[in-house]
Amino acid sequence: MDIELRGISKRFGPVQANQDINLEIRAGEVLGLLGENGAGKSTLMNILSGLYSADTGEILIDGSPAIFTGPGDSIANGIGMVHQHFMLVPVFSVVENVILGVEPTSGVDYLDLEAARAQVQEINTRYGMEVPTDALIEDLPVGIQQRVEILKVLFRSADVLILDEPTAVLTPQEVEEFFTIVRALRDAGKGIVFITHKLHEILEIADRVSVLRQGQIVGQGDPASFSEADLAEMMVGRPVSFSVGRAESTSGDTVLELAGVSLFDAAQDARLVDINLSVHGGEVVGIAGVQGNGQTELVEAITGLSAVTTGEIGFAGQDITRASVRQRHRMGVAHIPEDRHKSGMVGNFTVAENMVLNSYYDESVTSGVQIDWRRVHARAAAACLSYDVRTPSVFLGAGSLSGGNQQKMVVARELERDVRLIVASQPTRGVDVGSIEYIHRQLIACRDRGNAVLIISSELDEILDLSDRIYVMFEGRIAATFDNRGGGADRNAIGLAMAGVSQGTNPGAGRSGNRGSAA
Amino acid sequence: MSGEARSSGPAMSPDMKALLVPAIDSRSSWRELFILPLAAMFLAMLIGALIMMATSVAPETILQSFIAMAHGSVGSIHAISETLTAAIPLVLAGLGIGLAFRAGLFNIGAEGQMVVGGLAAAIASFLVTGLSIWLHLPLVLLVGLAIGAVYAAIAGLLKAATGAHEVISTIMLNLISIRLLDYMLRQPFIQKEGRSDPISKAVLETAELPRILEFLDGNLRLHAGLFIMLAAVAVIYWLLFRSKLGFAFRISGENPGAARYAGIRAGLTIVMAMAIAGALAGLAGAIQVSGVLGRATPGFTAGIGFDAIAVALLGRSHPVGILLAGLLFGALEAGGRQMQVDAGVSIDMIGIMQALIIIFVAAPLLVRRIFPPLFRERPRGGEENG
Ligand SMILES: Nc1ncnc2c1ncn2[C@@H]1O[C@H](COP(=O)(O)OP(=O)(O)OP(=O)(O)O)[C@@H](O)[C@H]1O
Ligand SMILES: [Mg+2]
């Protein structure tokens, strides 16, 4: 099934999100869609999936015009979208989630789960997805949940799949597995639209690429004829440098120090085991590791969101082991959370309100018990400008910003403050190459002002590019430490340590004991 | 636009000024707040008329009943007085429910909070003697407010400490309050002398809310609670949208994960929000006792605490919306009584129409389908902003 978009335009208030866009999606092809944050990629795909209606333009399916009035119409026409935000019921099983809304019934209203399971299983094996069909969603890792979303659209007999930034939440290993599935789908004749901000992924998997900027197509063609730098320049309109120049750091006093920190969860499983870690002023420390090896818990322990079970946390010479989130925030700890939707922002609040989400009580924006909104607004506007958060107004609901701009808003809020320590968890998730460059420069600038920066990222490139020192986490422990001043760390050795193979420079590294029982 | 650049450093650039222009087309919120309820009301009346027709009420009687409703709610100074009198407790309790809702809590317990607040106020109104009205009346109202707050805070504490769901606990507290009222009304120090049925002593004159239209006509029941209601609307608006506490409430209600991230203590927030909600309901109960009823009797709250849930929903948990919704419900109440008198149509019809309005407001898509021209969107966006 081939799809053609002709002259699509869509306007949101003052923002022209799409302007006269022509795009072809062909069966058996992966179309890569690139574009800076707010370029209009998600909007265009939401139009194609019937969620929004275009102001002008038409959609042709195999040459004949189609009119969609809602998401139901597009899936009936064989177009399915996997949103960046999963829409799954956590307490339902995979099969139940897949069939939700299109349950096969026999008799009056008898749910024929067996037939459904067989059908889901068939799709599952055909494309090599390896999803445990009877598991509950809440027990599955993000990468598998995403496959459930893909199963959902395939179950509804989609011939065209739209994947909006599917790899943003995946670990590099999961990305490889994901690509295997995408290739299987393509070879089965499905048309696929793949949105991403990672240029190498486009080069790896896309058969064609289209680049959007400010709502318009600014280039398309065969990815083989472009380099990453070409694509980046096309997206942003200027040359982008992929790695920040990082001068030699002058490391100062210890700002953050964790001594023997362990953390047990409610089920008494050890999440962190005997963590010893320090971050000095004027230093960027990176935490590498496959997601789910204790990074989240480490960040929660440092920021005060979780109480540690044993051990001590020191901050600028003070013991903050028992300090509250707010006390730490006031003392100068900034926190860019790993999942902006879960904790970093409130979609129904305005951009301005989000800019003071965790500092609304601070004297600088209050008078007595009141929040001084005029000051908040002015400050938010200034932050939006300096961090290039693309919004027509600070009064716009943050939920209607593009995904990358939401992330930039969160980053702006945390970096704009005068702080001593920045804990940045996946700081550039969903952000375009131009803005990644900017955010990285800001993090380095913070370091150069003598502050401590702790970066947690599943992107090893990001860690290697920014960090002066690197800790690798594995199963809740520090498995290895590496010195990366001057970029000297051994990428392979880090990779091995991430996989739990004893290799690191740290004598205590690589104890790959069972999580939970060892402590 | 001057003098605010203090903290923002350099003078404002044109880019910055552009960012400070409100983005959202204010018409969409206008539609939500006014046109939708009006359309819902129209539909409810239509269905009300159909029901009456189906029960073979003569068409002229139906017409007469609607005229009577209009007349009884806004047609005379007496009607307006009745409408406002009915609206006062609805708005007050509705504000509390709306505020709790903004903080992510379903306070089903306004009825019970009104009962205990009203009962406590009644007791304070005749047990405390020898005070001037300037001391006695505020004392009585404050007692009602405080007891309502404490009563609701119980549900808040239970949730904060044990995770007990506030819907369950407030429903149970409602039941307890109703029995408690009956029990207390038979206590010798409360029960009216010489009566065997449960009824309290009368509110002392120094604890009565003065009637504010008495100079026009001695029968006009509207009392000074009106000013308390208006003040409460302003205070709750300020609290929600201007104060630090209200911001914390709203974050907690919108995204508990973000509230945790922002260092807001969940337990404290729950207890505070419930206590404020209960304070408003308790105040509503006290005002009913001191301004309208003059004593406490079994069932004196007459389900106002439940109607207030509907008012809060209809008003979309916005103080101004709640004020308007409360006025509408007050008007239906007053108009319904007139309808019963003039046209002989049962006041139950009003209950049905109130419920229908809520259903239509709760299902805006339905109303949009029925009246597409009223809601036609120009090609623009911003629909995400509720
Ligand atoms: N519902 C909406 N209301 C108002 N503006 C919107 C809405 N949805 C999108 N926009 C605006 O339209 C523009 C395009 O947004 P879109 O989400 O399509 O960008 P994107 O290319 O997907 O960006 P990203 O890479 O950051 O996800 C943005 O400026 C955004 O603010
Ligand atoms: Mg997007």
Contacts of A6 by beta carbon, 8 Å cutoff, 6+ apart: A22, A57, A58, A59, A60
In this structure, which residue's CA is closest to atom 16 in ligand 1?
Answer: A40
Flag whether B336 is in a domain. Answer: no
Answer whether residue A509 shows pLDDT above 50: no
Q: Which of residues 173-202 of B touch A (CB under 8 A)?
A: none
Q: Is any atom of ligand 1 closer than 6 Å to the C-beta of A193? A: no
Segment A215-237 mean pLDDT: 90
Flag whether B185 is in a domain. Answer: yes
Percent helix, percent strand, percent coil in chain B, to nearest 5: 70, 0, 30
Instruction: Supply the mean pLDDT for chain A.
Output: 89
Q: Is any atom of ligand 1 closer than 6 Å to the C-beta of A37? A: yes
The ipTM of this complex is 0.87
What whole-number distance in Å separates Cα of residue B96 and Cα of residue A249?
Answer: 56
The long-range contacts involving B9-18, CB below 8 angstroms and separated by at least 24 positions, are B9/A382, B12/A378, B13/A385, B15/A385, B16/A378, B16/A381, B16/A382, B16/A385, B18/A392, B18/A393
DSSP string, B84-123: HHHHHHHHHHHHHHHHHHHTT----THHHHHHHHHHHHHH
**H-run or E-run covering A335:** strand A333-336
Q: Which residues of B touch A307 (CB under 8 A)?
A: none
Size of interface A-B (CB pairs under 8 A): 139
Residue A64 burial by CB count (10 A; 0-12/13-18/19+): exposed, middle or buried?
Answer: exposed
* pLDDT given for residue B363 in this prediction: 78
Amino acid at the residue A396: L
Q: Is any atom of ligand 1 closer than 6 Å to the C-beta of A403? A: yes
Q: Which residues of A touch B5 (CB under 8 A)?
A: 378
Flag whether B366 is in a domain. Answer: no
- Over its C-alpha atoms, chain B yields an Rg (Å, rounded) of 23
The predicted-structure confidence for A67-120, as pLDDT tens digits, reads as follows 888 778 888 889 999 987 788 898 999 998 998 877 766 666 666 778 888 888
Distance from CA of B27 to the nearest CA of A (A): 12
DSSP reduced 3-state for A79: strand
For residue B282, give the CATH number of its domain: 1.10.3470
**What is the bridge-based pairing of β-strands A254-264 and A469-474?**
unpaired
Q: Do the Cβ atoms of B222 and B213 come closer than 8 Å?
A: yes
Is A40 in the B-facing interface, judged by CB distances under 8 Å?
no
Other CB atoms within 10 Å distance of the CB of residue A138: 11
Flag whether B353 is in a domain. Answer: no
Please give chain B's pLDDT, 386 residues, in tens: 333 334 444 456 788 888 887 765 545 566 676 788 788 888 888 998 898 889 888 888 888 888 998 999 999 999 999 999 999 999 999 999 999 999 999 999 999 999 999 999 999 999 999 999 999 999 999 999 999 999 999 999 999 999 999 999 999 999 999 999 999 999 999 999 988 889 999 999 999 999 999 899 889 999 999 999 999 999 999 999 999 999 999 999 999 999 999 999 999 999 999 999 999 999 999 999 999 999 999 999 999 999 999 999 888 899 999 999 999 999 989 998 888 888 888 888 888 887 888 788 777 777 777 877 666 554 333 333 32
* pLDDT given for residue B29 in this prediction: 65
**H-run or E-run covering A82:** strand A79-82
**Pick among 3.40.50.2020, 3.40.50.300, 3.40.50.720, 3.30.70.100: CATH of A3-236:** 3.40.50.300
pLDDT band at A202 (very low <50, low <70, confident <90, very high): very high
- Which of A170-174, A246-250, A361-365 has the weakest average pLDDT? A246-250
Q: Which of residues 363-392 of A touch B (CB under 8 A)?
A: 364-366, 369-371, 373-375, 377-382, 384-385, 391-392
The predicted-structure confidence for A421-472, as pLDDT tens digits, reads as follows 999 999 998 899 988 998 999 999 999 999 999 999 988 889 999 999 999 9
The boundaries of the domain holding residue B289 are 87-329
Q: Is any atom of ligand 1 closer than 6 Å to the C-beta of A39? A: yes
Q: Of ligand 1's atoms, which has the minimum distance to the CA of residue A46?
A: 18
DSSP string, B216-253: T-TT---BTHHHHHHHHHHHHHHHHHTBHHHHHHHHHH
Flag whether B166 is in a domain. Answer: yes
Count of structural domains within chain B: 1
Amino acid at the residue A485: R
Flag whether B334 is in a domain. Answer: no
DSSP string, A198-249: -HHHHHHH-SEEEEEETTEEEEEE-GGG--HHHHHHHHHSS---SS---PPP
**H-run or E-run covering A3:** strand A3-12
Minimum Cα–Cα distance from A388: chain B residue: B15
The predicted-structure confidence for A125-179, as pLDDT tens digits, reads as follows 999 888 998 899 988 888 889 899 999 999 988 999 999 999 988 888 889 999 9
pTM to 2 decimal places: 0.88
In chain A, what is the straight-line distance between the N-terminal and C-terminal CA atoms, in Å? Answer: 56
Distance from CA of B16 to the nearest CA of A (A): 6
Contact A400 B243 (CB under 8 A): no
Candidates B261, B369, B377: best to mutate against A (most CBs of A within 10 A) is: B261
Distance from CA of B118 to the nearest CA of A (A): 30
* pLDDT given for residue B6 in this prediction: 40
Least Cα distance to A42 among A226, A146, A193 occurs for A193
Query: In sequence order, what are the beta bridge partners of A161?
Result: A80, A192
Q: Is any atom of ligand 1 closer than 6 Å to the C-beta of A21? A: no
Least Cα distance to A382 among A3, A35, A374 occurs for A374
Flag whether B26 is in a domain. Answer: no
Candidates A360, A402, A410: best to mutate against B (most CBs of B within 10 A) is: A360
Q: Of ligand 1's atoms, which has the minimum distance to the CA of residue A391?
A: 31
* pLDDT given for residue B230 in this prediction: 98
CATH 3.40.50.300 residue ranges for chain A = 3-236, 242-332+419-519
Q: Is any atom of ligand 1 closer than 6 Å to the C-beta of A41? A: yes
Q: Which residues of A touch B239 (CB under 8 A)?
A: none
What whole-number distance in Å separates Cα of residue A4 and Cα of residue A7?
Answer: 10
Is B266 in the A-facing interface, judged by CB distances under 8 Å?
no
For the structural domain made of A242-332+419-519, what CATH number should be given? 3.40.50.300
Report how far apart, in Å, the C-alpha atoms of A298 and of each of A119, A147, A258, A305 are.
Answer: 42, 28, 10, 10
Least Cα distance to B31 among B316, B357, B323, B329 occurs for B316
Answer whether residue A515 shows pLDDT above 60: no
The region that residue A29 occupies, defined by phi over 0 for left and psi between -120 and 50 for alpha, beta otherwise, is beta
Q: Which residues of A touch B268 (CB under 8 A)?
A: none
Q: What is the DSSP letter of A52?
A: S
* pLDDT given for residue A107 in this prediction: 63
Is B103 in the A-facing interface, judged by CB distances under 8 Å?
no
Flag whether B209 is in a domain. Answer: yes
Contacts of A512 by beta carbon, 8 Å cutoff, 6+ apart: A474, A475, A479, A500, A501, A502
Q: Do the Cβ atoms of A216 and A19 come closer than 8 Å?
A: yes
